[in-house]
Amino acid sequence: MWLAPVAILCIPEITRAQERLQLVGCVPLNRAQVAADLELELGVVATSHVVVRVSCTPDALLLEVDDGVTGKRISRGVAPIDFVDPGAPRVVALLVSELVLASWAELLLVSEEARREAIARVNAYLAARERASAEQRAAPIEPAQSPPDARVRTAPTDANARRRATRPAEPPQAVQSADSAQPSRATTLDAFEIDAGARLRDGRTPFGAGLFGLSARVSLRPRWSIGLRASVEIADVPRAAGDVAYSLFCGGVVVGFELLRQRRFTLELRAEPRVGWARLDGRPLRSTTEGRALDAPVVELEVTLAPSMRFGHVHLALGVSVGATLLGPIGIVSGEPSVALPGFAAGLSLIIGLR
């Protein structure tokens, strides 16, 4: 005697859902099936708070929803579908439910006062849905024969029953404010880099030198980075009376700023102040010429423009740099141009990095 009353009580809810669903030009779409699938996605309480209008044209399918929870009217246009397909009602119900859930998700983007009011409405809906689910689980269901003259609604189809049986039961969760779950920004390792190239020094007489460097940097902000770099520069400067062996060991701070980033390409500007120690060692060709070694501190400032391409965790860059040596040794060669570090310098290097 229990089955007939339960089945009859379900008829007003489904009828109410059908009244809130309007189909315009969507023949032969099954309106009752769309309403039933929509209740399956959003629940009976949610469908009682929305009014849905589906307009079908040869070119598009227009969905319009008046959302009573958020107080908004939302619409969406999608490509037309084949209404003869048995799964067409399910597709339309999924499209409408996604539109409603997207409207609820936008609650976090409005003002604080409006967000609190909307969150309260959504939480009230979730509580009502939980109470309805609890009452449904608590209601006893016993097999019985219905009276011959009673109007009993037919049981759901096997496909709908399987969908309800396989759908996971998830407990409702209250919506929280976006300010309560903001991740903290932490400093992260950006890259290890190795570079090799050449530098042209324009002292009293220009000379070239080989360059090798190693650096490590960390990210401070989306476009800024900072790190340390150690470098070695060596050269053998020829003179008529002999050669001058030149070596420079430096350490400095590298500050980088990304000027441009597009997919795998990055254009970065780097500034590097550094200090080091230089040695000039005179090696005369004749024993009658005196050779001496000179050691002195070096202070330099360099700016590098580095376009790079990223391949997974590896990036390749070409560094074009200009700089100036503010303090450094000067090797005097008798009767010939001196070997001097103070002055301007320009360099070109290949950079290989691992992020």
Domain layout of the chain by residue ranges: 3-169, 189-354
pLDDT tens per residue across span 261-310: 888 899 999 999 999 999 998 888 877 677 788 899 999 999 999 999 98
The DSSP call for residue 218 is: E
Task: Please indicate whether residue 297 or residue 41 has the higher confidence score (pLDDT).
Answer: 297
Q: In b/e form, how buried is each residue of 74-107, taking b as 16+ CB within 10 angstroms?
A: beeeeeebebeeeebbbbbbeebbebbeebbeeb
From the candidate CATH numbers 2.70.98.10, 3.30.70.520, 1.10.1060.10, 2.40.160.20, the one assigned to the domain spanning 189-354: 2.40.160.20
Task: Please indicate whether residue 145 or residue 113 has the higher confidence score (pLDDT).
Answer: 113
Q: For residues 35 and 89, what is the distance between their CA atoms, to the nearest angstrom?
A: 8
**Over residues 332-338, mean pLDDT:** 80
* Helical axes 158-166 vs 31-42, angle rounded to 10°: 10
pLDDT tens per residue across span 139-188: 766 554 544 544 444 444 455 545 554 555 454 454 444 444 444 444 44
The C-alpha angle 156, 162, 164, rounded to 5 degrees, equals 75
Give the range among 68-72, 107-111, 238-242, 248-252 with minimum mean pLDDT. Answer: 107-111
pLDDT at position 232? 96
pLDDT at position 26? 82
pLDDT at position 172? 46
Residue tagged 């320009």 (tokens): 346
Q: For residues 320 and 255, what is the distance between their CA atoms, to the nearest angstrom?
A: 15
Residue tagged 């919506």 (tokens): 175
pLDDT tens per residue across span 82-93: 777 888 888 888
pLDDT tens per residue across span 60-86: 888 888 877 777 788 888 888 877 788
The DSSP call for residue 98 is: H
pLDDT at position 204? 67
